[in-house]
């Protein structure tokens, strides 16, 4: 089956500009050779500490930033480098849900206008037909039809995220890129929004690229997990396998640090020391070597490649090489 999204050795380096001529004096290597694919109806969660590059990957997929290298394919078509006119037929296939439901909705527009705007722009819907589509979308996300005449500030955080989902669904996308979509919500509301996203996925066959730092959220919604560290994927595989038996030392430390509901459960005690190094000058060899308790001489010189460590799961660590 053709993946909805394929990201192939994606690279994004941001220049640091100095002087009157604004010449680049250094480069922030935010994303450095990231590859993955998402099948129709699948949720791939990108996880990692803040600054690991996961949100930059999301922005590249949404074309909010241009990649420095690599390719992005939607339904098998390479869309990297297409201009706006060439990309227009693909735009409606990929929609987004933002982290902050307070900031992502235009406060001056009523909900009916917010949800209806893409339908007017892309499908030319007007009048009764538009009203009916908007009411149908609000019903799909569990909001009453009378909400169309109200402004975003009249809704709670969870309801606003539902409005964001209704807007994202308007053009029947195949892929929704969701960047920390529930992290600004109360814990009690998070599960409701996640469950809604899963219901919508089942009903519409949606694929999600879901960016999160919260492993409890990822465990709830994900099918597969890709763990990022300093711009690279260090482990990728089926959710339960990665969370139950993490292979890469960084994944082990992330899982060990996550709160687990059963205090009697046996867990890894691996603790991370120090801060994430600067992406301006990432460590040579394995980028994790400055914090890894298992570091060997080889790790400081040789970059470990992602390789299969169990069926469907890859990790990049010299310790895991046969």
**Can you give the binding site for ligand SF4, defined by CB under 6 A?**
249, 286, 288-289, 292, 294-296, 299, 304, 317-319
Nearest approach, Cβ of residue 304 and ligand SF4 (Å): 4
Using the minimum distance from each CB to ligand SF4, give the nearer residue, 125 or 286. Answer: 286
Q: Where are the alpha helices (DSSP H) in the chain?
A: 54-61, 84-91, 111-123, 127-140, 157-169, 187-204, 215-221, 239-244, 249-257
Using the minimum distance from each CB to ligand SF4, give the nearer residue, 56 or 251. Answer: 251
Nearest approach, Cβ of residue 160 and ligand SF4 (Å): 40
Using the minimum distance from each CB to ligand SF4, give the nearer residue, 155 or 288. Answer: 288
Sheet holding 23-38, edge to edge: 23-38, 5-18, 69-74, 77-78
CA 293, 297, 298, 303 torsion: positive or negative? positive
Using the minimum distance from each CB to ligand SF4, give the nearer residue, 191 or 295. Answer: 295
Nearest approach, Cβ of residue 131 and ligand SF4 (Å): 56
Phi, psi angles (nearest 5°) of residue 294:
-105, 15
Nearest alpha carbon to residue 96 among 179, 2, 194:
179
Nearest approach, Cβ of residue 249 and ligand SF4 (Å): 5
Using the minimum distance from each CB to ligand SF4, give the nearer residue, 210 or 288. Answer: 288
3-state secondary structure of 197: helix
Q: List the Cα angle 148/152/153 in 5-degree steps.
A: 135
Nearest approach, Cβ of residue 112 and ligand SF4 (Å): 52
Nearest approach, Cβ of residue 233 and ligand SF4 (Å): 13
CA 212, 217, 223, 228 torsion: positive or negative? positive
Nearest approach, Cβ of residue 316 and ligand SF4 (Å): 7
Using the minimum distance from each CB to ligand SF4, give the nearer residue, 63 or 318. Answer: 318
Pairing state of beta strands 207-211 and 175-179?
parallel
Kindly state the tokens that stand for 219.
Answer: 């465990």
Pairing state of beta strands 43-47 and 224-229?
parallel
- Residue 224 pairs with which residues in a beta bridge? 44, 238
Taking each helix axis from N to C end, the angle separating 127-140 and 157-169, rounded to the nearest 10 degrees, works out to 130
Using the minimum distance from each CB to ligand SF4, give the nearer residue, 167 or 248. Answer: 248
């Amino acid at each position: 089956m053709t993946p909805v999204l394929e990201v192939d050795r994606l690279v994004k380096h941001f220049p640091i500009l100095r002087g009157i001529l604004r010449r680049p004096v250094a480069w922030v290597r935010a994303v450095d050779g990231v590859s993955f694919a998402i099948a129709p109806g699948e949720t791939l969660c990108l996880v990692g500490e803040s600054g690991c590059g996961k949100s930059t990957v999301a922005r590249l997929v949404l074309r909010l930033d241009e990649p420095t290298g690599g390719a992005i394919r939607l339904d098998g078509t390479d869309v990297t480098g297409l201009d706006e006119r060439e990309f227009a037929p693909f735009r409606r296939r990929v929609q987004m849900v933002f982290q902050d439901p307070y900031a992502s909705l235009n406060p001056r527009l009523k909900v009916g206008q917010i949800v209806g705007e893409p339908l007017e722009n892309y499908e030319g819907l007007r009048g009764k037909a538009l009203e009916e589509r908007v009411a149908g979308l609000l019903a799909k996300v569990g909001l009453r039809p009378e909400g169309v005449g109200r402004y975003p500030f009249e809704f709670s955080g969870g309801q606003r995220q539902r409005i964001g989902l209704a807007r994202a669904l308007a053009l029947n996308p195949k892929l929704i890129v969701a960047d920390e979509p529930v992290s600004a919500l109360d814990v009690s509301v998070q599960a409701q929004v996640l469950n809604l996203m899963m219901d919508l996925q089942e009903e519409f066959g949606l694929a999600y690229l879901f960016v999160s730092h919260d492993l409890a959220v990822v465990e709830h919604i994900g099918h597969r997990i890709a763990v990022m560290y300093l711009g690279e994927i260090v482990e990728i595989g089926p959710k339960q396998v990665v969370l139950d038996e993490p292979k890469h030392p960084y994944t082990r430390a992330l899982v060990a640090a996550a709160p687990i509901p059963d205090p009697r459960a046996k867990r890894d005690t691996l603790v991370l020391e120090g801060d994430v190094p600067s992406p301006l000058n990432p460590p040579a060899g394995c980028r994790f070597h400055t914090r890894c308790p298992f570091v060997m001489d080889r790790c400081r010189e040789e970059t470990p490649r992602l390789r299969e460590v169990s069926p469907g799961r890859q990790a990049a660590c010299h310790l895991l090489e046969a």
